[in-house]
């Protein structure tokens, strides 16, 4: 059983929002688009996004760390948003584990968003249906694209390679190795949703390593 997922490396994410804009661009123009904004240049804009980059602070000054934290649908292996849907519009694909919304079946009751502890779903105010990250399903399955391009738009856009994409059920995949070797973890494990997306924790890089080999790169 394949379970596609993102693994996000918090050690190298610089919070540049390239994944946010790239996601928005692809998904407003892609097969499932548009992904509308209301009053984009007005006083109170309101937009639908699949992906957000937040910034958090850990610790107390001066012992603080800034953590840039990208957040999108985690494609849970036990997604609480799916069984509550009254129409079956919200579903998890058997073949690759992607959690999707059938925009033609959604009645916009918002119940699935109540059932998601992560706030991963956003109601599109123009189409009046629920929207969420698709892992760029229209892109990763497009055989007209070169294999290297069959990745989610956010992954392709990341300048620091903080976003890995692959099958977390394949123990040899890049994402499985990263989770295993770098302590990849899931968000809010207390709810038993078993998110497929994982995060790689920050690592302490000793300053001496750089000093020992000046100009080595």
Partner 1 sequence: MRPAYSVILLTTLIGAAQGLFLALFGADLAGRLALGPRPEAAFLATGSAVAIALLVAGVIASVFHLGRPERGWRAFSRWRTSWLSRELIVLPAFGATAFAWGAAHVLRIEPPLALGIAASLLALALYLCTGMIYACLPFLREWNSPLTVLNYLVLGIASGTTLAAALAAAFAPAFAPGFAGWAIAFTAAGLASRGASLLRNAGLAPRSTPASAIGVDHPRVTQVTRGFTARAFNTHEFFHGRPASVVGTVKWAFLALAFVAPLAVLAAALPSPSVGAATLAVALQMAGLMAERWHFFADASHPQNLYYRAVA
Q: Does 49 bind partner 1 (CB under 8 A)?
A: yes
**Minimum CB separation from partner 1 for residue 213, in Å?**
30
**Minimum CB separation from partner 1 for residue 42, in Å?**
10
Element (H, E) at 181: helix 174-182
Q: Does 16 bind partner 1 (CB under 8 A)?
A: no
Q: Does 78 bind partner 1 (CB under 8 A)?
A: no
Please tell me the distance from the alpha carbon of residue 115 to that of residue 54, in angstroms, as a whole number. Answer: 22
Q: Does 159 bind partner 1 (CB under 8 A)?
A: no
Please tell me the distance from the alpha carbon of residue 172 to that of residue 161, in angstroms, as a whole number. Answer: 19
Which residue in the block uniquely carries the two structure tokens 């990250």? 133
Residues contacting partner 1: total by CB under 8 A: 61
Instruction: With CA atoms as reference, report the closest residue to 153 among 11, 30, 37, 53.
Output: 30
Q: Which one of 66-74, 141-149, 165-173, 204-212 is the stretch in contact with partner 1 (CB under 8 A)? A: 66-74
Please tell me the distance from the alpha carbon of residue 163 to that of residue 12, in angstroms, as a whole number. Answer: 9
As a residue count, the chain comes to 217
Of 1, 14, 54, 141, which lies in the binding site for partner 1, with binding defined by CB under 8 A?
A: 54
Instruction: With CA atoms as reference, report the closest residue to 10 among 181, 166, 199, 158.
Output: 199
Q: Which one of 24-32, 39-47, 158-166, 167-175 is the stretch in contact with partner 1 (CB under 8 A)? A: 39-47
Please report, as ranges, the residues that interact with partner 1 according to CB under 8 A: 17, 20, 44-49, 52-60, 66-67, 69, 71, 80, 82-89, 105-111, 113-119, 121-123, 125, 127-129, 185-191, 199, 201-202
């Amino acid at each position: 059983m394949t379970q596609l997922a993102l693994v996000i490396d918090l050690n190298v994410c610089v919070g540049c929002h390239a994944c946010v804009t790239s996601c928005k661009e692809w998904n407003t123009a892609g097969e499932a688009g548009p992904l509308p904004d209301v009053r984009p240049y007005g006083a109170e804009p309101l937009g639908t996004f699949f992906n957000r980059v937040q910034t958090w602070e850990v610790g107390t000054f001066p012992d603080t760390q800034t953590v840039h934290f990208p957040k999108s649908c985690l494609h849970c292996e036990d997604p609480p948003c799916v069984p509550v849907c009254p129409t079956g519009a919200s579903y998890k694909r058997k073949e690759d584990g992607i959690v999707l919304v059938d925009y033609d079946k959604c009645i916009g009751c918002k119940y699935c968003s109540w059932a998601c502890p992560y706030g991963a779903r956003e109601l599109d105010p123009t189409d009046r249906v629920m929207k969420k990250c698709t892992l760029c399903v229209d892109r990763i399955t497009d055989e007209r694209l070169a294999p290297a391009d069959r990745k989610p738009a956010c992954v392709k856009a990341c300048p620091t390679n903080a976003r890995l994409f692959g099958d977390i059920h394949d123990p040899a995949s890049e994402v499985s190795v990263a989770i295993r070797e770098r302590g990849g973890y899931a968000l809010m494990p207390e709810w038993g949703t078993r998110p497929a997306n994982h995060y790689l924790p920050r690592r302490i890089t000793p300053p001496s390593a750089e000093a020992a080999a000046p100009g080595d790169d």
